[in-house]
Structure 1
Amino acid sequence: MGLSGCASAPPSAQAPAAGGEARVDALMADYRGKVPGASVLVLRDGQPLLRKGYGLAVLETGEAATPRTNYRLASVTKQFTAAAVLLLAQDGRLSLDDPIKRWLPSLPKSADAITIRQILSHMSGLIDYEDVMASSFDADQRQMHDLDVLRALEGQDRGYFAPGQRYRYSNSGYALLALTVQRASGRPFASFLRERIFQPLGMHDTVAYERGVSQVAHRAFGYSYENGRWLRTDQSSTSAVLGDGGIYSSIEDLAKWDAALYDDRLLNDASREAAFTAHTATDLADVGYGYGWRITGETLWHSGETMGFRNVIVRWPRRHLTVVMLTNRNDPEPYRKALEIAEVYLPSSPVRER
């Protein structure tokens, strides 16, 4: 799909622009000091041109953000959920054309025709669980989990449209994919990610976080700016749903993830091509969606936002350039900032905003 409006593809990279780090420091001025911060990574040919933290990971203690700081990835998680499904397809444990009800038979009749492939590309028409979840869920008392998403959808014998007809971004779908991974593999979703993705790639601090089960090393807490000050807003009633947004990671670990997306140490050629191909247009001009990735021109990217976190990864695979920006604040969205940072290292071709 020929897409070009969101991030134009830069020409072949030359040597980094003189004073690149200082220029990025200037771009990141709002994240410096005693405020919720960010960690920024720029990779070329697998080598870091910049790996740096700005501001604070924990306001209450003054702990600084560093390259090892772990942020809740929010929807950047979806590329890992998609990879888990593709790994099981490679193993022959499931097919992307399986009806989702093969694995989750308690879903209502309206889900009969929905396939795993349609869920991966947000073409399922599933009802948003956030709109139908029980009002009794409270982040301070009980959080919703992936299984609770299934239970909420069991009572929704309807969809937004017939499966496969169009695109509608669906957190519900990716929660169901996490459950499908669990049932097809016989392993809890968090364990499958750890054993099949994180440990083999050396992503030792990355975790699909489960309160009371796992820990987040070097953890950043999320904050929102309200009434003139930063307030901790780290968790909500949906923060424990893993498949759509529950992974914590750092720019150091995401450098290892990025490297694995160039070869077959994890996904084979066919799986990577499937993930990185735009299977549908989206509701953003010139943006297509693959499996856990948005596609615009030469770029593969995904953003993520949740309570007190906003993140983005942007890859130019033909140029072997990647920019990752992880932040522990509710605003602003970092996508345009990541494109500005890319311009520092690819100055001859301005990167256009969408």
Structure 2
Amino acid sequence: MLDGLRKHCAEALAGHGCPSVSVAVAERGEIVLAEAYGLADLATGRPATPGTAYALASVTKPFTATAVCVAADEGLLDLDAPVPVPGESRWSGPTVRELLRHRGGFGAHYDFHDGGGERPVDTGRYAVLFREPGSGFEYANLGYRVLGHVLEESSGQGLGEFIRHRVCEPLGLGSWHLGPSYQGPAPVAVRYTADGRPYPPRCATGHPGASEGWATATDLALFAQSYERLLRPPTAAAVRDAVPYNARLGYGLGWNVSYGDGPVVRSHGGGMGGVAAMLVTVPEQRLSVAVLSNGTGKAARDTVVRYLLDTLVPGYTDELIAPVIDDPARPMTLPPGIWAGLITTPEAPVPLTLEILADHRVEFRLNGGAPATAPALASRAWDLRTSLDLQLPTADARISSPGLGLELRLGRGRLTGVARAFKNGDAEGWMGNFLSHPCELTASPRPDGLAR
């Protein structure tokens, strides 16, 4: 397999413009393969090695979840205790278990601040509930932000300190670090944009327990093999108890878990500016695979993961690790008409007028400004879904979120849902932020000045 892997990785890096990839396979508690290909630092020509540490992005979440479960076993917190959420809400706070499963009611969010200085986005202002806790799945970095605070308050230790002392050191994982930049003992891979520009060494987020982990591929593979021995059997079983969110996957306590035909696979991917990571474990085979890369695009990572799992895991298919939300698109069927209301941002409400046109298009006006049009679709969950290049006029959105997306559903004479400020990728600068805001519109007569 190694000869084929070497050739496959070289082709993947060249074909997808990725600087390097590090691969580790663990079996029955031991590393049986550790290889790295390409360059960890393009400027100096420093090669990647199995001892190179990479940023993990969302592969941080299984570490945070394991730490929370360790704390629960020690009686420091209760998985089913509600967690207060700041601000006004018609719902009670989510439980720790719901937060671990991405069912805490928070909306999608990420904020990345590359370089020095303070983070310009106050993440706490976005930690508002969008739905009743437990009512549905929405992948939520904000939930893992809250879990980090809960763990710190219950243990009296910083999140990174607790994970290092209570998870990584007992498992012999010496490369682990949690923070905006890598402070561990290993050499570190420089992160690169899709077109080959280096990111700064430091990337601060408002959700460190979701996104700020660093480790080598070998330590990742060993973690997936051995984290359960830190937990009591009922807690380990709770980690595997996943609520389905598509036809092949559910989300347990920090892991995607497959179900249905084929082998049972636990996995977690990660991606942000200059990071594409994947961790997979197949308990029946006592096998774990870690793949880390230092480019934004996921294509090189995915082709290497597929090669390894096709080779090592009988019955493997990509659906066993693909976290696709089961919400297929359909044509929008809302009748033509005008809707007006507000996008509620942390700074101030932003007036929005939305006209549904006859050709499955919508016209927007923000703050009474110039109109912009875009095509619209619907889905099982939403009656209207659309996005366009339109800047939400808030200080946070102006930082690095030039696009606007809307997801709205019709009920009781209102369109309610979420408006998201975002940036599509990093081809024109570093990765942007993804900011979710409540939105509510009501049917409206044609305002003055909008007559055609």
**CA-CA distance at 1:55 after TM superposition:** 0.4
* Residues 210 and 240, structure 1, Cα contact 8 Å, conserved in 2: no
Give the direction of change, closer, same or farther, for the CA distance of 1:81–1:22 in structure 2 (3 Å limit).
same
Matched residue, 1:204: 174
* Residues 23 and 344, structure 1, Cα contact 8 Å, conserved in 2: no
- Aligned-residue Cα RMSD (Å) equals 2.6
**CA-CA distance at 1:69 after TM superposition:** 0.8
Match of 1:29 among 2, 5, 10: 10
* Residues 194 and 296, structure 2, Cα contact 8 Å, conserved in 1: yes
Describe the superposition over 1:96-134 as per-residue Cα deviations: whole angstroms up to 9, x where unpaired.
111111xxx64543562311111110111113343xx7x
Supply the AA of the counterpart residue of 2:92. D
Match of 1:305 among 261, 264, 271: 271
Matched residue, 2:358: none
Identity %: 27
* Residues 220 and 279, structure 2, Cα contact 8 Å, conserved in 1: no
Matched ranges for 1:198-347 at <5 A: 198-211=168-181, 214-215=183-184, 217-226=186-195, 230-233=196-199, 238-239=204-205, 241-262=207-228, 264=229, 266-278=230-242, 280-282=243-245, 284-297=246-259, 298-333=264-299, 334-346=301-313
Give the direction of change, closer, same or farther, for the CA distance of 1:332–1:153 in structure 2 (3 Å limit).
closer
> Matched residue pairs, number?
312
* Residues 36 and 55, structure 1, Cα contact 8 Å, conserved in 2: yes
Q: In 2, Cα distance between the equivalents of 1:111 and 1:251?
A: 41
**CA-CA distance at 1:67 after TM superposition:** 1.0
Matched residue, 1:351: 316
Give the direction of change, closer, same or farther, for the CA distance of 1:143–1:129 in structure 2 (3 Å limit).
farther
Q: In 2, Cα distance between the equivalents of 1:255 and 1:50?
A: 10
Q: Between Structure 1 and Structure 2, which shows a larger proportion of helix residues?
A: 1
Describe the superposition over 1:27-47 as per-residue Cα deviations: whole angstroms up to 9, x where unpaired.
212355896101101222223
Supply the AA of the counterpart residue of 1:327. S
**CA-CA distance at 1:238 after TM superposition:** 4.9
Matched ranges for 1:43-192 at <5 A: 43-101=26-84, 106-110=86-90, 112-130=92-110, 138-144=113-119, 148-149=122-123, 151-153=124-126, 156=128, 159-192=129-162
* Counterpart secondary structure, 1:322: strand
Q: In 1, Cα distance between the equivalents of 2:106 and 2:9?
A: 38
Supply the AA of the counterpart residue of 1:139. D
* Counterpart secondary structure, 2:97: helix
Higher relative contact order (CA 8 A, sep 6+): 1
Give the direction of change, closer, same or farther, for the CA distance of 1:317–1:335 in structure 2 (3 Å limit).
farther
Supply the AA of the counterpart residue of 1:221. V
Describe the superposition over 1:276-296 as per-residue Cα deviations: whole angstroms up to 9, x where unpaired.
221x222x4311100110011
Q: In 2, Cα distance between the equivalents of 1:138 and 1:92?
A: 35
Give the direction of change, closer, same or farther, for the CA distance of 1:321–1:175 in structure 2 (3 Å limit).
same
Runs of 5+ consecutive residues of structure 1 not aligned to the other structure: 1-19
Runs of 5+ consecutive residues of structure 2 not aligned to the other structure: 320-452
Give the direction of change, closer, same or farther, for the CA distance of 1:342–1:237 in structure 2 (3 Å limit).
closer
Q: Which runs of 4+ in 1 moved over 6 A?
A: none
Q: In 1, Cα distance between the equivalents of 2:83 and 2:137?
A: 17
Q: Between Structure 1 and Structure 2, which shows a larger proportion of strand residues?
A: 2
**CA-CA distance at 1:168 after TM superposition:** 0.6
Q: In 2, Cα distance between the equivalents of 1:190 and 1:205?
A: 13
* Residues 343 and 351, structure 1, Cα contact 8 Å, conserved in 2: yes
TM-score normalised over the length of structure 1: 0.80
Q: In 1, Cα distance between the equivalents of 2:200 and 2:249?
A: 30
Q: In 2, Cα distance between the equivalents of 1:208 and 1:327?
A: 18
Radius of gyration: which is bigger?
2
**CA-CA distance at 1:143 after TM superposition:** 4.8
Q: In 2, Cα distance between the equivalents of 1:141 and 1:222?
A: 16
Describe the superposition over 1:139-171 as per-residue Cα deviations: whole angstroms up to 9, x where unpaired.
3343549x943x3236x4xx3221111101001
Give the direction of change, closer, same or farther, for the CA distance of 1:30–1:93 in structure 2 (3 Å limit).
same
Describe the superposition over 1:252-279 as per-residue Cα deviations: whole angstroms up to 9, x where unpaired.
22233133235x2x1121221111221x
Give the direction of change, closer, same or farther, for the CA distance of 1:313–1:94 in structure 2 (3 Å limit).
same
Supply the AA of the counterpart residue of 2:34. R
Give the direction of change, closer, same or farther, for the CA distance of 1:47–1:256 in structure 2 (3 Å limit).
closer
* Counterpart secondary structure, 2:59: helix
Q: In 2, Cα distance between the equivalents of 1:256 and 1:138?
A: 30
Q: In 2, Cα distance between the equivalents of 1:29 and 1:215?
A: 28
